[in-house]
Structure 1
Amino acid sequence: MPGGLAPFFAASPAQSAAPSAALRLVAIGASAGGVEALGVLLRALPARCPAAVVVVLHLAPGHSSRLPQLYAQQCLLPLSEAQDKEPLLPGRVYFAPPDYHLQIEPDFSFSLSLEAPVFFSRPAIDVLLETAALACRSSMLAIILTGASADGARGLARVRQLGGGAWIQDPATAVSGVMPAAALRHAGADQVLELGELAACLARLVDAA
């Protein structure tokens, strides 16, 4: 399969097949316990990454985000907060800004929205994944990590419906298993892995793409 994706996706019988396009986007969603979990994944990314990496971490409204600075010493890739109308570039990590939904447009640029929170969260993982699925279809991978709400489950189902890959942190090993368990029930997954295994598989996938 093009892009080296096939070894790392295993489609379940009732869900979408493995992505068939070269990897263009890795979208990651996390909430409670997500600061530490994200650090594990970001440390695993090699300096050469052919995909853009976009992260939604639930943040309290009205607070500035210092996530790029927090992870700067842990990640080999450039990190920044996503800006409205900014084009996504490969080999960069983008974080959703606080109190805005982050969307990916068909021209592979960002847009920010002040629409109502989803599961009390803005940014919401569902918004990112649903728009990314439409823009990227089979050229994306979505990852759901630890969290304490059902945000991300609906978006992950859309990703799979349109041919993208879906990985979920094993709920039994997450700081909060509510989010990964909800995603698994609603959408299923190509991989359900402990966090360290997730990071290792992500590193291999990106390196092979």
Structure 2
Amino acid sequence: MGQYNLHNRYKAVVIGGSAGSFQGIVKILSSLPANFPLPIIMCLHRLKHVRNGFVEALSIKSIAEVTEPYDKENIKKGKVYLAPANYHMSIELGNYFGLSTERMYNNSRPAIDITLNTAAYVYRDKLIGILLSGANRDGGLGMKSIKDRKGLTIVQEPSECMIDTMPKAALNLTTID
């Protein structure tokens, strides 16, 4: 991402992942510069009944603290956010989070497509979308939405994924940058 003038060109980074994505997330979070200017919004499939440990494990590896946002919390520059277990997380106009317990989508809650689609709607061409390893197609439509709104799209190389269904779903729906 060094070739992009991040703080002028982009307003946020959104990352989706599921089975096999933990190592990719750790690699991204541990390689960020200390003064990374953009919010990083992560939607990862996780066990709905396990509330502790995941955020702490990511925080240990990350330059910035990883937090689970509250409903209606403002999105701040340089922060790392993780969708809370068993909540859909959307990005709302006005730059804040919306959390809900609506029905599962793509057999998931949180659903990556919901986070990516709403982020694409709010940030348009000022969004970087990243989709990592995962076992279902959740995130594919969200990446298409980001691309359709001229955001920057990145998927994990399918051959490097533990499970390549998610990146391949995005690659089948749109042209990834």
Q: Structure 1 length normalisation: TM-score?
A: 0.79
| 1:110 correspondence with 2:109 | no
1:54 maps to which of 41, 54, 59? 41
Query: How far apart, in 2, do the equivalents of 1:99 and 1:68 lie?
Result: 14
> CA offsets, 1:183-207, max 9 Å, x none?
11112200xxxxxxxxxxxxxxxxx
Query: How far apart, in 2, do the equivalents of 1:67 and 1:53 lie?
Result: 16
Query: How far apart, in 2, do the equivalents of 1:185 and 1:163 lie?
Result: 18
> CA offsets, 1:119-168, max 9 Å, x none?
11100110001100111001110000000000000011111111111000
The aligned counterpart of 1:17 is: none
Aligned length: 175
1:67 positional shift: 2.6
Higher RCO (Cα < 8 Å, 6 or more apart): 1
The aligned counterpart of 2:4 is: 5
Query: How far apart, in 2, do the equivalents of 1:109 and 1:24 lie?
Result: 13
The aligned runs of 1:118-137 (5 Å cut-off) are 118-137=105-124
> CA offsets, 1:39-94, max 9 Å, x none?
11111111111110011110122221433210222111122111111001011100
| 1:170 correspondence with 2:157 | yes
Matched position secondary structure for 2:60: coil
Matched position secondary structure for 1:112: strand
> CA offsets, 1:15-49, max 9 Å, x none?
xxxxxx62111000000011222111111111111
Query: How far apart, in 2, do the equivalents of 1:187 and 1:112 lie?
Result: 28
Q: Structure 2 length normalisation: TM-score?
A: 0.93
Matched position secondary structure for 1:175: coil
The aligned counterpart of 2:145 is: 158
The aligned runs of 1:61-100 (5 Å cut-off) are 61-100=48-87
Identity over aligned pairs, percent: 33
Matched position secondary structure for 2:37: coil
1:118 positional shift: 1.6
CA contact (8 A) 1:65 1:98 kept: no
The aligned counterpart of 1:27 is: 14
The aligned counterpart of 1:197 is: none
Structure 2: stretches of 5+ with no match in the other structure: none
Give the aligned residue type for 1:136: Y
Structure 1: stretches of 5+ with no match in the other structure: 9-20, 191-209
CA contact (8 A) 1:65 1:97 kept: no
1:4 positional shift: 5.9
